[in-house]
Chains A and B, each alone.
Chain A
């Protein structure tokens, strides 16, 4: 044997080391028509005219597909984006979307219909049968494979040379560590932000749409107003995110003072106006649905219901904790302000939240 690359490498029938030219692979038999299966001849099998007709139908489907593709291309450029059309059941929509979508859809669909029609009418519909082999290879094959593996493993010495094996395992176990470590900077370490909101003493309460200060007279009995701390826009600007919006949102509700059964602190209302966190204590949806008559507040996400006349206690649904209340009063000009920040974390539970 030579190592030299032999350009005239031709087949030598006497050389045993050379790969055989003929594949040793066992030829699998081609499938044959199945026996015992009912088979009926189709019109297209017996009547050449019917076959011809089917052929034309298939071609017509494919032709229709091409036509619709062309319609798509033309309407893409021809139909102005703003054109609206009224379609029954759908209403007024963009003409472009309807025409582009319909033509494209039909172009695609007709290819499918044509192909299946072709298969059903013209291709042989005799069922074929093919043998299966058990998935498990023959025992000898398994043994040969395992032997090959064992020879390789023994040659590597991985079994005997414990030192190598262990150090390799150690290295392999450690090398993904940098990837894990790098994930550390996905986010900052929590510093108790979940406990804090922007609310603090004397901060004005403003509406969440016009950001105007609110006077008690602005809220008739039975009404509900979504509100924010006055500096919310500045905070948003400064932090460059909406995080504070999701924490400081509150609801102001006015009820008759005699309707208030309890509050989270003495006189935390102002003349029957109570302020509660808007963020559900279940998993944190903003709450929106208020029923005047019962003073119940319903979370639209999983229907937790809180009683605003009774300290914001949950009375139904999956939320387990009351909505935190914000103590309010008015400043010397008569605008509503917070008397202090929230006295407990708002929003959903978290592990280190505590009581």
Chain B
């Protein structure tokens, strides 16, 4: 390779800086650092790049945007709103859209990048979950990721509110209603955030400092920590030829990874910019300025708020009146705060729960294929189906008008579905995973089906199998199972109570549930003989003079 063309002379500038900073050792270690390559590893990159685009375009937006709720009379170049009273925030967003050259583009890139940022984080999270990449030593990065997703949602919501248009204002009103419903402190919290009653004159400038300083700063810090950990821990890889738990196979940072990842940044940026040019997003000029007595019908929040919207919509009207003095509102608190809180807490706790159940405390650098962890995969699809149902519930009015159905019927359907569908998804997923595992096992023990049936001269039929290829073998061999914890005895032989009996019992039961239906792991001997047989069968076929594809003896079956 071309890594022989090394200039022996130290360039003076390099020497100048290195003598003062001393980075040669770090450079030496990292310039050729290996990064594994897979399309699913680009999801995190998309999130990172979208964030950089947000920083860049957001900084430009701050040059013209005015975070003020002072009332002004619009006099810009968007004719339909001329002469209408509105907040300075809304007026300046109109100015960015219609009077600043390239301003509309910047706004739209910023908004598209925000949508991509959160979408990429979510899909990235799913990839990490379904491949078990959060296992030791990467639990902290899982937690950092969940924190980033939370901050991203807040950043999105706070930014969305800044233009102070009718649509986002209604979203803010809903947020204020949720805050107000908090037990004991609700009214105070509302007054503190809004500087008094809703909408007041403070909230936009407060959201502004949160949106452009606090949240981006926090996100930047956490992203940095996230990437530092990826760097020191080295990226995980899928099982494949030459790949082990103890190595990393891929392309060196310089040149291939730099060119690909750097190039990919420009691709993401380019696509976002083209979308900003060609596809209108958030046309705030059509919604009009915010006023608390108006609403736009059939309006939808940005996609990432949809699940909350859905949970608010499907929640039954439960409210309590305590001693005729206090009002307690589960109809608001459960869907808006408790449910999302629980979802995020469960996500955060998951890696620790799993390793407690399996007892697995080893380092994992090879990723799992989702089928090889059926319970995990099923839990994942189950949770995903719950999330998607909530999300669909957030569009029940759209569904109702599009398909001419009754909103009440849809809402009732969603209420039932939210309880009934996820368990079904769990069961189905686990079945599918185990089926796929069985296929894999068959390949190991009997070779690969070729889809060709051989009629033997004596009259019988056999299907021709061929040995598994070198490239596929490591994938098939990557499955492991976990031993089931023994059920603990309440008291041991000496009549002494087992310490932590209940906890041990739970763990034993959970581990039986976790590994339920797991197929046995074949021994190396079984595999070798299986592959050997497949090999022989293939040779036998050749001996009979059967060339695969010959019509009269070989028929092809479609699987």
Chain A interface residues (CB < 8 Å from chain B): 23, 25, 27-28, 30-31, 33-38, 76, 81-82, 87, 90, 93-94, 96-98, 100-102, 104-116, 118-119, 123-132, 134-135, 183, 186-190, 193-194, 208, 226, 228, 240-243, 245-247, 249, 278, 282-289, 298, 300-305, 314, 316-321, 347-355
B316 touches A318 (CB 8 A): yes
Q: Are A303 and B396 in contact, with the CB atoms below 8 A?
A: yes
| Residues of A close to B377: CB separation below 8 A | none
Docked CA distance A124–B34 (Å):
13
Contact B246 A119 (CB under 8 A): no
With beta carbons under 8 angstroms apart, the residue of A284, A302, A354 that contacts B325 is A354
Q: When the two chains form their complex, are residues B195 and A186 in contact, meaning their CB atoms are under 8 A apart?
A: yes
B180 CB within 8 Å of chain A = yes
* Chain A: CB-nearest residue to B184: A351
Of the candidate stretches B11-19, B147-155, B186-194, B545-553, the one touching chain A is B186-194
B408, CB-defined interface residue at 8 Å:
yes
> Which of A33, A81, A109, A354 has a CB less than 8 Å from the CB of B321?
A354
Asked if A242 contacts B291 (CB within 8 A), the reply is yes
CB-based contact B293/A188 at 8 Å: no
- Using A115-B266, A130-B34, A350-B180 as known contacts, list a sample of 4 further A-B pairs with CB atoms less than 8 Å apart, ordered by residue number in A: A36-B470, A131-B247, A183-B192, A351-B182
Distance in Å: Cβ of B337 to nearest Cβ of chain A: 12
Q: How far is the CA of A349 from the CA of B176 in the complex (A)?
A: 11
Nearest CB of A to B458, in Å: 40
Contacts A81-B99, A285-B170, A354-B325 given; indicate if A303 touches B199 (C-beta within 8 A).
Answer: no
Given contacts A31-B32, A320-B318, contact A100 B102 (CB under 8 A): yes
What are 21 of the A-B contact pairs (CB < 8 Å)? A36-B470, A97-B277, A98-B278, A101-B278, A105-B276, A109-B269, A128-B251, A128-B252, A134-B363, A135-B363, A186-B193, A189-B191, A246-B198, A249-B292, A300-B295, A300-B296, A301-B170, A318-B335, A319-B317, A350-B327, A351-B184
Binds A, one of B220-228, B257-265, B367-375, B503-511: B257-265
What 8 A-B pairs are tightest by C-beta distance, nearest first? A101-B277, A283-B177, A109-B270, A246-B292, A115-B263, A112-B266, A320-B319, A105-B273
Specify which of B174, B263, B264, B407 lies most central, judged by the most chain A CB atoms within 10 Å of its CB: B263
Q: Which residues of B contact A (CB under 8 A)?
A: 1-2, 25, 28-29, 32-34, 69, 77, 98-99, 101-102, 104-105, 108, 137, 170, 173-174, 176-178, 180-188, 190-202, 232-234, 240-242, 245-252, 255-256, 259-260, 262-274, 276-280, 291-299, 309, 312-313, 315-319, 321, 324-329, 331-332, 335, 363, 365, 396-397, 407-408, 411, 470-471
Inter-chain CA distance A69–B32, complex, in Å, is: 33
- How many Å from the CB of B282 to the closest CB on chain A? 14
Task: Please judge, given known A-B contacts A37-B241, A349-B181, whether A97 and B196 are in contact too, CB under 8 Å.
Answer: no
B139 to chain A, nearest CB (A): 11
> Looking across the interface, which residue of chain B has its beta carbon closest to that of A35?
B242
Contacting residue for B186 out of A27, A243, A351, CB 8 A: A351
Q: Is A283 within 8 A of B298, CB to CB?
A: no
Known: A109-B274, A112-B266. A353 touches B327 (CB 8 A): yes
Assess the B266–A127 pair: CB atoms within 8 A: no
Cα separation A7 to B200 with both chains bound (whole Å): 66
Tell me the minimal C-beta distance from B393 to chain A in angstroms. Answer: 10
List residues of chain A with CB within 8 A of the CB of B335. 318
Decide if A131 touches B246 in the complex (CB within 8 Å). Answer: yes
Complex: A183 Cα to B293 Cα, angstroms:
30
Query: Complex Cα distance A302/B174, Å?
Result: 10
Verify A188–B313 contact, CB threshold 8 A: no
**Once the chains are docked, how many angstroms separate the CA of A94 from the CA of B299?**
25
